[in-house]
Amino acid sequence: MLKELDSIHKQGVAFFKKASDLLQDTSWRTDKWGVCDRDEFWNMLDSNLQKKSQSIITNIVKIAPLISESARLTSYLSQSDQIDLGHAIKGMRSSLRLCQYRFWEQEVLHDEGHVLGVRPAGQTDDEGIRPDKAMKIFEDCHRRITSIVELVNPVTIEIAEKNITITGQKTATIQADSAFIMMWMDQGRPELEDVYATIKRCFKNFGISAERADDIEHTGKITEEIVNKIRSSEFLYADLTGARPNVYYEVGFAHALSKKVILYRKSGESLHFDLAGYNCPEYKNLVDLEKKLNIKLENMTGRKMKKNIM
């Protein structure tokens, strides 16, 4: 793993240097607080540099499950080490998109001994940063990851590779431009069909075919088909509205495979403790959901939304 990490580091440094040279004499926009939009610097890069960045990110995503599983199996690496490892991997990925990854722990809000409420844990990477700053973050994240990997012995790595193969993290074939939607389904609630249609339309705007459990043609157990879809879909979306146990289970399974899930919920919907640490934006109505999801997918795919799709 150290060899792969060293290769990723060299490729990353070369990318940042080229990006810095390209943007050396450019100006940028900020809001009234001096913060840049997430894609402010990314959109200034030419297509070749963007593709190079995406290629490095792909290499990080490929090796991330093995690093995480190896750390989990190493007895003298604590849960805190594993959490820091996850943040470092996400930080490295965001830096290659020229944006800054931040996270915060759950915080109890109080005033003179009176509890006012709880701010849930969360994470974001919605601030654009210059290539020189992004490279510093990238190198710091690489150092943190490497310091953990150096403590893992070869036998543990072999066991981790076997575990990954068994759970399908490594062998599953990803279907490009596919999405699987996990959400509350109830024939007695027709408004849920409107939510589904909105989500599906958003994915279609970016050339992505989306489906949910009741769309799947199957001959075996539906749960097996859902598991296969979670493994093979390029994108995963979960609407946590209604707090359905099966949706939480499916999201948990996806996280066990180290797969990222796009999470949303209707305004006022509380989160279960096991997902309190994940970013799950609220939406007021379908118009709000469509706007937010389109922006999210544009950032994730690097594509522009298609117009006039019926």
pLDDT tens per residue across span 168-201: 555 456 788 899 999 998 888 899 999 999 999 9
Using 50, 70 and 90 to split pLDDT, how confident is the model at 118?
A: low
> Hey, which residues does 233 pair with through a beta bridge?
175
Per-residue pLDDT tens digits for 241-290: 988 888 888 898 888 877 889 999 999 888 876 676 788 999 999 999 99
Determine which of 119-123, 131-135, 263-267 has the lowest per-residue pLDDT on average: 119-123
The answer to whether residues 205 and 305 touch, using CB atoms and an 8 Å cutoff, is: yes
Q: Give the pLDDT of residue 265.
A: 94
Neighbours of 123 (CB within 10 A): 15
Task: List where CATH 3.40.50.450 sits in the chain.
Answer: 175-301
The whole-model pTM stands at 0.57
* Residue bearing tokens 């499916």: 250
Q: Is the pLDDT of residue 96 over 50?
A: yes
pLDDT at 49 over 50: yes
pLDDT at 6: 95
Neighbours of 25 (CB within 10 A): 6
The backbone torsions φ and ψ at residue 172, rounded to the nearest 5 degrees and listed phi first, read -65, 135
Give the least confident one: 16-25, 98-107, 191-200, 226-235: 98-107
Q: Is 3.50.50.60 the CATH classification of the domain at 175-301?
A: no
Instruction: State the pLDDT at residue 302.
Output: 79
Higher pLDDT, 290 or 214: 290
